[in-house]
Amino acid sequence: QKEVEQDPGPLSVPEGAIVSLNCTYSNSAFQYFMWYRQYSRKGPELLMYTYSSGNKEDGRFTAQVDKSSKYISLFIRDSQPSDSATYLCAMTSTTDSWGKLQFGAGTQVVVTP
Amino acid sequence: DAEITQSPRHKITETGRQVTLACHQTWNHNNMFWYRQDLGHGLRLIHYSYGVQDTNKGEVSDGYSVSRSNTEDLPLTLESAASSQTSVYFCASSEGQGRITFFGQGTRLTVV
């Protein structure tokens, strides 16, 4: 079983809808949680970064972490065609070696005009 | 602006050949990583380094090696390329506790 599970999609939504993405994980030591956006044939770029449990908002993006359920989410409000990309969750722990990220498989999102 | 540069962006090589992928970062980060990305697997860690002369194996290190002779560069070498190593390779770097990680644009390697 993988440490981080993520539905690969594709997830297709109409423009303006809310995109809801999530990951589950098994390692209770994970404390740092990230969401990366990856456009086709490009490198991943960091979208959101949260520590421990709680919510974080940045513009149209909201990241949520529920450590008790080992579940993290990313919401994209008022989605745009430019949000069409693959979204990768990643996480690491305070006990693990610095910067060694565990990634989900990525969810492909398609926002249709 | 600081960045991570990977070269080449695309490479086709034959089974059994030695191949080296270059990674150069201008962030002055101590931590550098190599990941491979395959459909259904996401990004998997190959090797990483926390500084000059330091190298460590990741979860999929068999058949790969790295060396760190300066802060800016971490070349990845495939000792004897195999078809199973056909993949997209990403170099990354981070500073300090390393939670903020930056990625290069990737190298698409095909082994025929």
Write out pLDDT tens, residues A17-51.
Answer: 999 999 999 998 898 999 999 999 999 999 998 98
List, in order, residues 6 or more apart from A62 with CB less than 8 Å away: A55, A56, A74, A75, A77
pLDDT confidence band for A88 (50 / 70 / 90): very high
pLDDT at A97: 60
Tell me the residue ranges of DSSP E strands in B9-100.
10-13, 19-25, 31-38, 42-51, 54-57, 64-66, 76-78, 87-94
pLDDT at A112: 96
Q: Chain B within 8 Å of A35 (Cβ-Cβ)? A: no
Percent of residues, chain A, with pLDDT higher than 70: 96
pLDDT at A96: 60
- The residue whose two tokens read 């990951």 is A23
What amino acid occupies position B85? Q
In terms of Cβ atoms closer than 10 Å to its own Cβ (0-12, 13-18, 19+), residue A30 is buried
Which residue of B6, B10, B93, B99 to mutate against A (max A Cβ within 10 Å)? B99
pLDDT tens digits in sequence order for chain B, 112 residues long? 889 999 999 999 999 999 999 999 999 999 999 999 998 788 999 999 999 999 999 999 999 999 999 999 999 999 999 999 999 999 999 987 667 889 999 999 999 9
Contact A92 B94 (CB under 8 A): no
Find out whether B107 and B54 touch, Cβ atoms under 8 Å. no
pLDDT at A87: 97
In this complex, the residue of B98, B102, B106 whose CB is nearest that of residue A98 is: B98
